[in-house]
Amino acid sequence: MTIGIHRPTQLVIDQAAIYHNIAAEKARLKPGVELFQVVKANGYGHGITQVARTAEKAGATGFCVAILDEALTLREAGFMQPILVLGITEPQYADVMAAHHISATVGSIDWLKTATNALSADHQLAVHLALDTGMGRIGFQHPAELRAAVQYLDDQAQFNFEGIFTHFAKADAADTAYFEQQIDRWKAFMAVLPKRPKYVHVSNSATSLWHAACNGNMIRYGVAAYGLNPSGTELTAPFTLQPAMSLTTKMVYVKQLPKGYSVSYGATYTAQQDEWVATLPIGYADGYERRLQGFHVLVNGEFCEIIGRICMDQLMIRLPQKYPVGTTVTLVGEDHGQVISLQDIADYCGTIHYEIACGFTQRLKRTYIN
């Protein structure tokens, strides 16, 4: 997608905030526990390679991604650290992964058997066996299946049994009953292992923040690195998370809307009196959700309502007074002591901040500071 460099709309990414969030969690880890930074989905919308560089400086020793192409992006950018693809990659690409020293997630013995035929004789593929302890997404479901897979790996020189892991569905909840069920299932799986691989990992951000005793010897640090609480508002993080993303633009058109005149598609908003209205160069094609009609932005520290339907490329706000074209508008972030957070936007949209951050499209210019 074309990046909008010739309009005054930008995501501003504070690299110092990302560094802080990673370094603060690293300081809490027991000796010998590694931190792999999760940079999938373009670094949760923050920029995959830029986040990876900051994470490297903050002490991350590896990376996790969702798809093979993200891993290849890191390799092409020069990163030599271990990279684990958390999703299932088609076994036909096993040799590509092995050639680039990228670790594969495996959830069935059938995958291993198919990948065996795809691997070149001079390549060895590192694999992490995924265990489904209650997430219901991917992974071995029964200890007997795991035992068979480990035996298969022992018999095949083309594989390096590098890691084993699971993922918790409710590590971010105050009620720990389901989390404890998953722990019990995890223990049942681990009981059939004759020996442990190099990496044993169960912790995403939420697990590491609130259940650090479960960390194993590696954590997959995700959303917390970006300054976002994985629990939303249910649990308080053990240290201050610094949000790394803000979103700003500038007014490109300002007019006085006469009483009785309407704004945008469907004429869903009609002025009840003469009003000052500004048009902003951002819309739902940029990932600023159409359902945010009626929400607000910040202008000079004042909350200004979004009026009328948000368009593909533009939206309109009601001003308390006339402002000149070029006035800065904050859609996410702090302005004169007032704040609009990704959590605020998520709450208004009835979703989670992950979706909002990941939804900002590549058309938005990303500016890196600090």
- In whole angstroms, what is the distance from residue 125 CA to residue 266 CA? 56
Residue 214 has pLDDT above 90, yes or no: no
312 is in an annotated binding site: yes
pLDDT grade for 206, boundaries at 50, 70 and 90: very high
Residue 212 has pLDDT above 90, yes or no: no
Question: Which tens digits make up the pLDDT trace of 222-254?
Answer: 999 999 999 998 989 999 999 999 999 999 999
**Which CA distances in Å does 308 have to 135, 173, 180, 217, 296?**
40, 37, 47, 52, 12
Query: What pLDDT score does 347 carry?
Result: 96
Under CATH, what is the fold of the domain 245-340? Answer: Lyase, Ornithine Decarboxylase; Chain A, domain 1 (2.40.37)
Under CATH, what is the fold of the domain 15-226? Answer: TIM Barrel (3.20.20)
Strand 83-85 versus strand 62-65 pairing type? parallel
Please tell me which residue in 113, 255, 265, 322 is annotated as part of the active site.
Answer: 265
Question: Which tens digits make up the pLDDT trace of 347-370?
Answer: 999 999 999 999 999 999 999 999
Work out the average pLDDT over 322-342. Answer: 97
Please tell me which residue in 19, 40, 226, 288 is annotated as part of the active site.
Answer: 40
Query: What pLDDT score does 352 carry?
Result: 96
Residue 22 has pLDDT above 90, yes or no: yes
Cα of first residue to Cα of last residue in the chain, in angstroms, is 26
Taking the domains of the chain in order of start, what are their residue ranges?
15-226, 245-340
Residue 300 has pLDDT above 90, yes or no: yes
- Are 35 and 218 in contact by the 8 Å Cβ rule? The answer is yes
> Whole-model pTM?
0.94
Work out the average pLDDT over 92-118. Answer: 96
Is 265 a catalytic site residue?
yes
Residue 198 token pair: 């190099």
245-340 has the same fold as 15-226:
no
Is 30 a catalytic site residue?
no
